[in-house]
Chain A
Amino acid sequence: MNIFLRELKSNRKALIIWSVCMFLGVLSGMSKYTTYSSGGAASQALTQLPHSMRALFGMGSFNVSTMSGFFAFLFSYIVLAAAIHAALLGSGIIAKEERDKTTEFLIVKPISRTTVITSKFIAALVNIVVVNIVTLLSSFFLVAAYNKGKDISGEIAVFFLTMFIVQLIFLSLGAFLSAFMKNPKASGSIATSILLGSYVIAKITDLADHLNVLNILSPFKYFSYTDIVNGDGLNTVIVILALLLVAVFSASTYFFYQKRDLNV
């Protein structure tokens, strides 16, 4: 419990900053909706863009002049930001003790390494839930403020459920890397590199459908936003597989942190 509280406290400032940024991100994104949906020359130009250009911008086949299509387009950026937060957080919970050389303080206490990881995981979980909920509420509120068509609250809820799973994947990936690597200080940059790599893969498969098999490497493509927009909900099998991936990363975190020599 003490480690959990300590962890929450040490992440508090970062959490506030991230939450504010997520709100501002949604706000600035939504404020452009008026242009996209005005039906004037601008939105016509958008629909006439070649598919590859649309894919690069993240619009893909969404009809960005409707609120659900526009939100799906905006959401691909929201989820990227949330994933970066989760990856840095995950690697940070372990790496920062070794970076700040506080491992020696913590590990000689009468607690197991497993307890340390569990407490830190729970604290990190609280952090990503807060970011998720803040962004969800911002989206509910701001979409309602700009939306003139049908209500899409249900779809937004599903979007943020998928975001939570993506957050979990990158949180556990970051933690796994910092538990596994001999030099955990580098785990944050490795985790974000992997993240950006998988984002690039997502872009590539957007452009070239025949490479869709690569999507397995990109958690950003695990959930079909088109299905969500069309109201088809989530594929249960994929949800289970994604959660399984989280479980594997988490279990490896425990395993390798137990085995590793800590840097002091």
Chain B
Amino acid sequence: MSVIEIKNLTKQFGKARGIIDVNLNVEQGEIFGFIGPNGAGKSTTIRTLLGLIHPTSGSATIFGKSCFDHPEVRKELGYLPSEVFYYDNMRVIDLLKYSASFYKKDCTKRINELAEAMNLDLKKKINDLSFGNKKKVGIVQGLLHEPKLIILDEPTGGLDPLMQQKFFELIREENQKGATVFFSSHILTEVQKMCDRVAFIKEGKIIKLERISTLQENNYKRISLEAKSGISRDAFNLDGVSNFKVKENTAKFIYKGNVNTIIQKIAQLDLLNLSIEEPDLEEIFMHYYEKEG
């Protein structure tokens, strides 16, 4: 069963674009990345999925049910919003207990474990906390009831690198215990490290949905050449070449396709230097981005 199922989901804010015809399935146990630049519609998609805003058309369900018709389905949901705001006058522990009180189970032990892992002082007042520490409260708050579905909206903003690492460890642990994770971000390297599959969203539309492994290993190569004489664009005018940048005797591009084909092309040149590397997701993403744009 798909844990998240989004079908033809469209959300318009008056005349402004929200998201257009988004289709997604997230299967049980996977870590799913949701990538796009700011304002692409990531948060809109999540908020529609969680029942905060109504879809204009289409449907979005978690565990097969809509959050509007079956609010109780959210008992297995842990959500970390991109910006964390809480009732300012509360102490951290009171806020966490209040949050736990909605789930009808004793979360005290888990709260303490998580707070310790994230190095969070439970006795402080929330408005005395720094942005990063508020984020930690959000993380503990999202995980304290050991949800089966974890939705993270730009989760690492404000966390220092050490905490980011701790956080990713926590998420991996939850995933190994069986939790499904939906992870939205504009930082590609963090998605690259964590996710099984990834969807790219741009200007409200999903432009690509693929396994990370397919994206990274099988198809794409970043090739840099240095030749003795000038390189012409025409020499590499074949399918799968993109982001072609040439400067006198050097050329750089992303290649997707059969490696033999490109090697034969390259072999025709008199080379000084050659490197073939795995591109990072950012370059692959930019490749989609520019092609579509």
A113–B71 alpha-carbon span in the complex (Å): 8
When A261-B52, A262-B52 are in contact, do A110 and B75 touch as well, CB less than 8 Å? yes
Q: Is A107 a contact of B51 with CB atoms below 8 Å?
A: yes
When A2-B102, A108-B74, A110-B73 are in contact, do A100 and B51 touch as well, CB less than 8 Å? no
Q: Is B53 a contact of A261 with CB atoms below 8 Å?
A: yes
Q: Is A264 a contact of B71 with CB atoms below 8 Å?
A: no
Q: Is B86 a contact of A262 with CB atoms below 8 Å?
A: no
Q: Is A10 a contact of B87 with CB atoms below 8 Å?
A: yes
Within 71-95 of B, Cβ neighbours of A (below 8 Å) are at 71-75, 77, 79, 81, 83, 85-89
A111 touches which one: B52, B71, B88, B98 (CB < 8 A)? Answer: B71
Q: Is A100 a contact of B72 with CB atoms below 8 Å?
A: no
Q: Is B52 a contact of A110 with CB atoms below 8 Å?
A: no
Q: Is B85 a contact of A102 with CB atoms below 8 Å?
A: yes
When A102-B86, A103-B52, A108-B52 are in contact, do A264 and B47 touch as well, CB less than 8 Å? yes
| A147-185 interface code vs B (CB 8 A; 1 in, 0 out) | 000000000000000000000000000000000000000
For A111, the closest partner residue in chain B by CB is B71
* Interfacial chain A residues near B51, Cβ < 8 Å: 107-108
17 A-B pairs (CB sep. < 8 Å): A10-B87, A100-B85, A101-B83, A102-B85, A102-B87, A104-B81, A105-B86, A108-B77, A108-B79, A110-B74, A110-B75, A111-B72, A111-B102, A112-B72, A262-B52, A262-B53, A264-B47
A233–B51 alpha-carbon span in the complex (Å): 49
For B50, the closest partner residue in chain A by CB is A108
Query: Cβ of A210 < 8 Å from any Cβ of B?
Result: no
Q: Is B47 a contact of A110 with CB atoms below 8 Å?
A: no
Extra A-B contacts (10), CB below 8 Å, given A100-B88, A109-B99, A262-B52: A2-B98, A104-B85, A107-B51, A108-B50, A108-B51, A108-B52, A108-B77, A111-B102, A115-B71, A259-B54
* Interfacial chain A residues near B86, Cβ < 8 Å: 102, 105
A101–B52 alpha-carbon span in the complex (Å): 12
Query: Cβ of A51 < 8 Å from any Cβ of B?
Result: no
Within 186-203 of B, Cβ neighbours of A (below 8 Å) are at none
How many B residues face the partner with a CB closer than 8 A? 26
* Interfacial chain B residues near A108, Cβ < 8 Å: 50-52, 74, 77, 79
A107–B102 alpha-carbon span in the complex (Å): 11
* Interfacial chain A residues near B258, Cβ < 8 Å: none
For A259, the closest partner residue in chain B by CB is B54
Q: Is B74 a contact of A109 with CB atoms below 8 Å?
A: yes
| B36-78 interface code vs A (CB 8 A; 1 in, 0 out) | 0000000000010011111000000000000000011111010
Within 213-264 of A, Cβ neighbours of B (below 8 Å) are at 259, 261-262, 264
User: Shortest beta-carbon distance, A260 to chain B, in Å?
Assistant: 8
**Interface extent on A, as a size class?**
20 to 34
Q: Is A105 a contact of B99 with CB atoms below 8 Å?
A: yes
Q: Is B89 a contact of A261 with CB atoms below 8 Å?
A: no
User: Shortest beta-carbon distance, A219 to chain B, in Å?
Assistant: 32
Within 183-221 of A, Cβ neighbours of B (below 8 Å) are at none
| A103-131 interface code vs B (CB 8 A; 1 in, 0 out) | 11101111111010000000000000000
A113–B75 alpha-carbon span in the complex (Å): 15
User: Shortest beta-carbon distance, A118 to chain B, in Å?
Assistant: 13
For A182, the closest partner residue in chain B by CB is B14
A113–B86 alpha-carbon span in the complex (Å): 19
Query: Cβ of B103 < 8 Å from any Cβ of A?
Result: yes
User: Shortest beta-carbon distance, B92 to chain A, in Å?
Assistant: 14
Query: Cβ of A6 < 8 Å from any Cβ of B?
Result: yes
User: Shortest beta-carbon distance, A4 to chain B, in Å?
Assistant: 11
User: Shortest beta-carbon distance, B110 to chain A, in Å?
Assistant: 17
When A259-B54, A262-B52 are in contact, do A110 and B89 touch as well, CB less than 8 Å? no
Q: Is A110 a contact of B81 with CB atoms below 8 Å?
A: no
* Interfacial chain A residues near B88, Cβ < 8 Å: 100
Q: Is B99 a contact of A261 with CB atoms below 8 Å?
A: no
For A262, the closest partner residue in chain B by CB is B52
* Interfacial chain B residues near A102, Cβ < 8 Å: 85-87
For A258, the closest partner residue in chain B by CB is B68
User: Shortest beta-carbon distance, A105 to chain B, in Å?
Assistant: 6
For B71, the closest partner residue in chain A by CB is A112
A109 touches which one: B47, B54, B89, B102 (CB < 8 A)? Answer: B102
Query: Cβ of B218 < 8 Å from any Cβ of A?
Result: no
Query: Cβ of B176 < 8 Å from any Cβ of A?
Result: no
Q: Is A104 a contact of B52 with CB atoms below 8 Å?
A: yes
* Interfacial chain B residues near A111, Cβ < 8 Å: 71-72, 102
User: Shortest beta-carbon distance, B182 to chain A, in Å?
Assistant: 13
Within 105-125 of B, Cβ neighbours of A (below 8 Å) are at none
* Interfacial chain B residues near A259, Cβ < 8 Å: 54
A109–B47 alpha-carbon span in the complex (Å): 13
Closest 9 CB pairs of A and B: A110-B75, A101-B85, A261-B53, A109-B102, A2-B101, A112-B71, A110-B74, A108-B79, A110-B72
